[in-house]
Amino acid sequence: MNRRTLMASAAIGLTLAFGGTAHAQGMDKVKACFVYVGPVGDGGWTYQHEQGRLALQAEFGDKVDASTYQENVPEGADAARVLTQMALGGCNIIFTTSFGFMDATNEVAGKFPNVKFEHATGFKRDHENVSSYNARFYEGRAVQGVIAGMMTESNKIGYIGSFPIPEVIMGINAYYLAAKEVNPDVELSVVWAYTWFDPAKEADAAKAMIEQGVDVVAAHTDSTAPLAEAAKTPGVIGFGQASDMTAYKPSPRVSSIIDNWAPYYIERVGQLLDGTYEQADTWAGIKDGEVEIGEITEAVPAEVKAAAEKMRDDIAAGTHHPFTGPINKKDGTVWLAEGETAPDGDLLGMSFFVEGITADIPK
Amino acid sequence: MDLSSINPAVLIASLMVAAVPIMLAAIGELVVEKSGVLNLGVEGMMIIGAICGFITAVETGSPFLGFIGGAVGAAVLSLIFALLTQVLQANQVATGLALTLFGLGLSSLMGQGYVGIKPPATGMVPFGPLADIPVLGRVLFRHDPMVYISIGIIAAVWATLKFTRMGLIIRAVGESHDAAHALGYKVTRIRVLAILFGGAMAGLGGAYLSLIRVPQWTDGVTAGAGWIALAIVVFASWRPWRVLIGAYLFGGISVLQLNLQVANVPIPPEYLSMSPYVITIIVLVIMSSGRGRAALNAPAALGQNFHAAR
């Protein structure tokens, strides 16, 4: 046994001793740690998680130590190393905030049964101490789709996708369906950037779309670069993604999807403190305040704003589901019959475009 | 599939913009290599140029000063390389790689307070009515100044290397430093100046990324552009105008790749993304087959340290 494994097992022993007994009656002090895929200053996805972390620290003060976080962690083997280091460093609960951390999270969770792992946007919970949490971003996409469908002059709207994973695909489908509903002539272009965060590439993707006549650009990547690119061409609009991105108000940013993770982080760490923590799979949306629609600016006409706000309110009230039949898959087969709404299982494993989208999903 | 939606004029215009950073970095590296020094730290110098240019532009409000700041910042970084390899005789390959790693880390540190800020905008060069000529106007006359400056630099480097005494001396030092030394040229001084020029050009390229192309500061904004610049120098077989062609080719493929995706052409983007590197490898193989190193047109003393014994 070399020194490293010795230290690792000693640390496991320690967590067993303290964590094990503490779990039943709650804990006096929780160390919460965060793993980020981008820099906290990306102005989007990671920035919002960082805001959640700061809110957590403010909420509990001395009872929670949320000072540990790591930025720019690559999805893959490096993530497992970072997680192991955090678990050994005495973290009681670790939030891993990107889809690509899923396997690493589950792998490391198996080795540290007394550390709680919370993985964002994934679906694997191989061990009792792994929970997953996600937000119904597609609800926000439907609101954006309404704006896009009504605002486009060229009838060409675009979507910069990161990776062809269910979360992104359902966002594209929701965006398209809502746009198609208000504007039957609308065409959707999809570009896969194959990155969550590469501002130069995101900007180039937006540029390529705009050059081909797309005048509404939605992005499913993490930086503000697509909006910076859209700002160069008058008449092109876009949306804040993950964060409000107010620097680009009132145009090109006409609205936004804001991820509000703070309530979830506070709830989960609070449960750990008072001993009510249990494994969970949370998927909250507009109704629960986890997905917020940023201010719709005066750059869009009042009736567009009203239609978008109606969509938002209907979704919040539960009277409208963005995926309501009849909807066919791209290959023409029936997915949802008239009046049927999509089951969560279908959405979480979504690997097809709906009828009307001409782009293909790369295999 | 709808190829008609791709406008060739717009495509050419945007590939010219996409090529500027790698073109500037590559022409700088070409001069460095012509003088017999192999500096693999282009990526590090570019990103230092990107952050220094960004900071200068944000603090002064002037994009022009930003570009100067980027060039100066990267040139200062290249001085470290010059000190290590030319004075202390360190291995050039290892020092260059270290320079890249150092530059990436240092830029991240310097950029801490500058994330999420918009830099002052750089306008297009006003060509007046010329910009309205169909097709040609879009391709040639609607760019920011750096697009024209970068082409001007290529022409200047070409003319200097080919026609001037200074160019002849640089080439002599790169082909045989011992012979140049025997003739009384200050080999080390000439090489240090070449390294500084290479650093300044890489810095300009980096500043173009953070000030015009993206435009914002984020960690790792160069995303490998420095390595592509190094590949272009070899691809161009150390000839300035071929650097221009190489940069347009490499920049063009990255732009074309995204445009084809928008137009829904069923070519997997991965193939197009790797094609510049495949072409570089093929060119290397062709050039190095049979006729030896001279056919490659590589400077004979490339990568060799020089120490004046007396």
Report how far residue B287's alpha carbon sits from residue B234's, in angstroms, rounded to the nearest whole number.
10
For chain A, list the domains and their CATH numbers. Answer: 3-135 (3.40.50.2300), 137-258+290-348 (3.40.50.2300)
Residue in A189, A192, A223 nearest the CB of B218: A223
Give the pairing of strands A187-192 and A291-294: unpaired
Question: What pairs with residue B92 in β-bridges?
Answer: none
Q: Going by C-beta distance under 8 Å and a sequence separation of 6 or more, which residues neighbour residue A191?
A: A158, A159, A160, A161, A205, A208, A209, B258, B261, B262
pLDDT confidence of residue B141: 83
From the list B148, B157, B138, B136, the residue with the least C-alpha distance to B208 is B148
Beta carbons of B31 and B194 less than 8 angstroms apart: yes
Task: With a cut of 70, say whether residue B296 has pLDDT above it.
Answer: no
Least Cα separation, residue A61 to chain B (angstroms)? 26
Q: What's the length of chain A?
A: 363
User: Across the 363 residues of chain A, what is the mean pLDDT of every consecutive 10-residue run?
Assistant: 50 45 68 90 84 93 91 88 93 93 94 94 90 92 94 94 91 95 93 84 89 92 86 88 83 90 93 91 89 91 93 92 92 90 88 90 79
How far is residue B140's CA from residue A87's CA, in Å, rounded to a whole number? 57
Match 């532009």 to its residue by tokens.
Answer: B57
ipTM over 0.85: no
**Sequence letter at residue B159:** A
The whole-number pLDDT of residue B295 equals: 60
CA angle centred on A355, ends A353 and A356, rounded to 5°? 105
Chain-chain contact of B258 with A205 (C-beta, under 8 angstroms): yes
Residue A16: per-residue pLDDT = 44
Minimum CA–CA partner of A362 in chain B: B268
Q: What part of B 261-280 touches A (C-beta under 8 Å)?
A: 261-264, 266, 268-269
**pLDDT of res. A25:** 66
Tell me the CATH class for B3-116+136-296.
mainly alpha
Mean pLDDT of B222-233: 87
The answer to whether residue B227 scores a pLDDT higher than 60 is yes
Residues 6+ apart with CB under 8 A from B188: B86, B87, B306, B308
Mean pLDDT of B263-274: 75
| % of chain B exceeding 70 in pLDDT | 93
* Whether A115 contacts A92, CB under 8 Å: yes
Structure tokens, B158: 């070409």
Closest Cα in chain B, distance from residue A331 (Å): 16
How would you write B152-209 as a 3-class SS string? Answer: HHHHHHHHHHHHCHHHHHHHHHHHCHHHHHHCCCCHHHHHHHHHHHHHHHHHHHHHHH
In this structure, how many other beta carbons lie within 10 angstroms of the beta carbon of residue A274? 10
Q: Could you tell me the CA-to-CA distances from B173 to A49, B31, B188 in Å, in that order?
A: 55, 11, 9
The answer on pLDDT for B85 being more than 90 is: yes
What number of residues does chain B have? 310
pLDDT of residue B216: 83
> Which pLDDT band, with edges at 50, 70 and 90, does B155 fall under?
very high
Q: Are β-strands A93-96 and A130-135 bridged in parallel, bridged antiparallel, or unpaired?
A: unpaired
- Nearest neighbour of A211 by CB, restricted to B10, B215, B219: B10
The pLDDT value recorded for residue B294 is 54
Token pair recorded at residue A46 = 């990671």
SS3 (DSSP) at A94: strand
The answer to whether A6 faces chain B, any CB pair under 8 Å, is no
Assess whether pLDDT exceeds 70 at residue B208. Answer: yes
pLDDT of A20 reads 42
Q: Which residue has the higher pLDDT, B276 or B44?
A: B44
Residue A211 has a pLDDT of: 87
- From chain A, the residues in CB contact with B258 under 8 A are 191, 204-205, 207-208
Confidence of residue B45 (pLDDT cuts 50, 70, 90): very high
- CA proximity to B260, closest of A186, A165, A362: A362
| Whole-angstrom distance, CA of residue A263 vs CA of residue A346 | 27
Contacting A residues, span 148-187, partner chain B, CB-CB under 8 Å: 158
Distance, C-alpha B275 to centroid of its chain: 19
Q: pLDDT tens-digit profile of A196-230? A: 878 878 888 999 899 888 999 999 988 888 888 88
Cβ neighbours of B226 (radius 10 Å): 28
pLDDT digits (tens, 9 = 90+) for B132-142: 887 788 788 88
pLDDT at B261: 81
